[in-house]
Amino acid sequence: MSIMKTLPRVLLLFAAAFAARAAFAAEKTPSPFAAKEVAEARRLIRENRAECVVIRGGKLHVKRGRGVMPLLEFRDGGKDLLKGATVVDKVIGRAAAAVLIAGGARAVHGETMSEDARAFLRKHGIRTSCGKLVPRILNANRSGLCPLEQSVAGIDDPELAVKALRKRIAELRAKAKAGPAPPPPRGDPGFNALLRKRWKDAGLTPVKRATDEEFLRRAKLKLTGRPPMPEEVRAFLRDKSPDKRARLIEGLIRSPRFADMMAMRYAQTFRVKSEFPINMWPNAVQLFHAYLRDAAARDLAYDVMARELLTSSGSNFRKPQVNFLRGHADRTPEGVARGVMLSLAGVRLEKLPERDRKGVAAFFSRLGRKDTDEWKEEIVFTLPQAARIEARTPDGKSFTIDAPDTEPREVFAAWLTSPDNPYFARAFVNRMWFWLMGRGFVEPADDLASPPPSGLWAILKTAPPPVRSTPELDALAEIFKKRKYRVRELVRIICNSPAFNAGWETNDAEQLRAAELFAVYPVHRLEPEVFVDTLAAVTGSSDRYRSVIPEPFTILPPGTPAVKIADGSISNGVLDNFGRSPRDSGALDETRLRITSSQRQWLMNSNILFWRLRRVPLQRFGKRKIDPARRIDEIYLLILARHPTAEERELLLRRFRELPKARRGSFWGDVVWALVNSREFMMYH
């Protein structure tokens, strides 16, 4: 009886194994009944006699052409050739996959195929195989995703994807017909000249430029929060054009990931956090963060954003800008004034005399709030009662405001964003310089106001200048104002400057002075979010993030990058250990960038990280036989975005050869672990 019960299970297991083997065979040959034709089609492609071959009814239909054009021509030819056919193509990305699915192809082989394309085809029941599987299809200079792939990204409906693809092709043709694009801007010559003059006047040795490898890693991490992959490093090194750095910057600041990075920085500055002590609540957090990301994506002028944040009224669940004035632990007029001045003016109001503190607080003294019947919703408005307000700003200006006929917040916004305001432009420029360079022209980078009169100033009974500054900060702030407060323009100028392009080493005698004047790039640690996202890019697996308070309890989807976390209340132990900003005050020093013993302990001893790193060699190399020197190069490119030095390569090769053959398999995991634990991996340089 027991045998009879067991037999069906055995048969089921046997049937499952047989089905798995059959599926594997189908993967190897997309169309078993046309194996000879597939082999012939692949030969034609390898000999460059075709880019795309459609096999139908035992006949081979051959086309040449770039990208997806042959596939579109097959589909538009009126003979319905793709329907039920086996297709062999040179390169298949998501765009080509959309055409194949919409055309009704039955089986597809790509000499090169992206992971996204394979998943898309399989989702629609199309059998696939490939000669080489790659993460993505890159553009011509391999600095980012192919434009046609960008046009269909995230579109799951094949017909809609084909429409988006055709639209993008039309745009590219129109652009080509219009002639070559002008060369990308290379920063501001006047500002660059000022930097070089300052270095020359200080007697510094001519600055050594960062290597291409250093610059690529620095730019990608700073602007997108992700490291360059090995194929991107190789492509950048192969490119010998003189404007390749400017083109790289231009592509990065127009990418969606740049918008993600800027949204994260804005969220830290404006205290985007659902729980204590900010209590913005989840609905409002998502709305506000979406507004900040959209502002970065469409390059909203910074003065326009500031005015919107300061003057908006309405529901915090329906008007995202309203949350800026709600996002304070202390919601008294002085508490709001303290947060506003820190975020938008770079002024620590608590350090100023009482007269200035009360003077700024007066602008927010008519701010009212009321609850609604919806959970956690709040309406922000200006109190309707008549009142005369005596207000004052830290630069000594006084205002008499008759409310509600005149809105006090609008008066404050007009003062703040005025071109002659001593704080506004300098505050944002100094903050951006800090974000991109690791240190502000003035430190702390969000503390620009001069202290109260003392010493000689007190004796002379004369006020000191209202703002601490440097010639470089003054010059860049003026440029920012002339360029209409465009954030991308400011980033473009900084990233094309000799300071951002500088190497990080100089002779010991000049090190301090060179660092003070930014003649060398300041070495500093990756931000916590960038660090964990870099680990995710290297290992192919990411952490999970969740809220700590169930109101409502939130778990973010797997694969969510840390830089895209909207809510300061959502985190995990690794992010917190590496110093993620709690977003309680909006101060830059809330993000802790020191390397601590706790971080070192985690890197060296975390069992989860150890196994993530152990899997990297298998993910990159599989079971292929690859020369050890090539493996070392690939690992260095993946983790440090550079080739190993001759000394490093020889040291590792010698160690590899010394090992018994039985232990050589684990050697590559050890190399990965050692490089991730290196100071170089954790730092911008």
Each residue's pLDDT tens digit, 214-259:
999 999 999 999 999 999 999 999 999 999 999 999 999 999 999 9
**pLDDT, position 548:** 80
Specify the CATH number for 31-177; select among 3.30.70.20, 3.40.920.10, 3.40.1160.10, 3.40.140.30.
Answer: 3.40.140.30
**pLDDT, position 32:** 41
Q: Over the range 183-206, which residues count as b (16 or more CB within 10 Å of their CB) and which as e?
A: ebebbbeebbebbbebbeeeebee
User: Under a CB-based contact definition with an 8 Å cutoff, are residues 224 and 495 in contact?
Assistant: no
Q: Tell me the average pLDDT of the chain.
A: 90
Q: Does the pLDDT value for residue 153 go beyond 80?
A: yes
**Which three-class secondary structure state does DSSP give residue 467?**
strand
Q: Does the pLDDT value for residue 640 go beyond 50?
A: yes
Q: Which of 174, 154, 166 is nearest to 67 (CA)?
A: 166
Mean pLDDT of 260-287: 96
**pLDDT, position 550:** 62
Per cent of the chain over pLDDT 90 is 76
**pLDDT, position 506:** 80
Please spell the DSSP secondary structure of 282-313, one letter per residue: HHHHHHHHHHHHHHHHTT--HHHHHHHHHH--
**pLDDT, position 230:** 94
Higher pLDDT, 115 or 315: 315
Mean pLDDT of 92-118: 93
**pLDDT, position 457:** 45
Residue position matching structure tokens 């200079």: 141
pLDDT category at 6 given cuts 50, 70, 90 is very low
What is Dmax (Cα atoms) for the chain? 108
Q: Does the pLDDT value for residue 139 go beyond 60?
A: yes
Mean pLDDT of 515-531: 96
User: Under a CB-based contact definition with an 8 Å cutoff, are residues 155 and 162 in contact?
Assistant: no
pLDDT category at 144 given cuts 50, 70, 90 is low
Q: Does the pLDDT value for residue 484 go beyond 50?
A: yes
Q: Does the pLDDT value for residue 16 go beyond 60?
A: no
Per-residue pLDDT reduced to its tens digit, 525-559: 999 999 999 999 999 998 999 998 766 788 999 99
**pLDDT, position 673:** 97
Contacts of 529 (CB under 8 A, 6+ apart): 225, 264, 561, 562, 563, 565, 575, 580
Q: Over the range 470-490, which residues count as b (16 or more CB within 10 Å of their CB) and which as e?
A: bebbbbbbbbbbebebebbbb
**pLDDT, position 156:** 87
**pLDDT, position 637:** 97
**pLDDT, position 622:** 87
**Which three-class secondary structure state does DSSP give residue 321?**
helix
**In angstroms, rounded to a whole number, what is the distance separating the alpha carbons of residues 373 and 361?**
30
Per-residue pLDDT reduced to its tens digit, 282-305: 999 999 999 999 999 999 999 999
**pLDDT, position 389:** 96
The DSSP bridge pattern shows strands 524-525 and 683-684 to be antiparallel
Q: Does the pLDDT value for residue 495 go beyond 80?
A: yes
Per-residue pLDDT reduced to its tens digit, 163-210: 999 999 998 888 878 776 677 777 899 999 999 999 999 999 888 899
**pLDDT, position 33:** 40
Residue 107: count of CB within 10 angstroms of its CB: 24
Higher pLDDT, 205 or 646: 646
User: Under a CB-based contact definition with an 8 Å cutoff, are residues 305 and 295 in contact?
Assistant: yes
**pLDDT, position 464:** 61
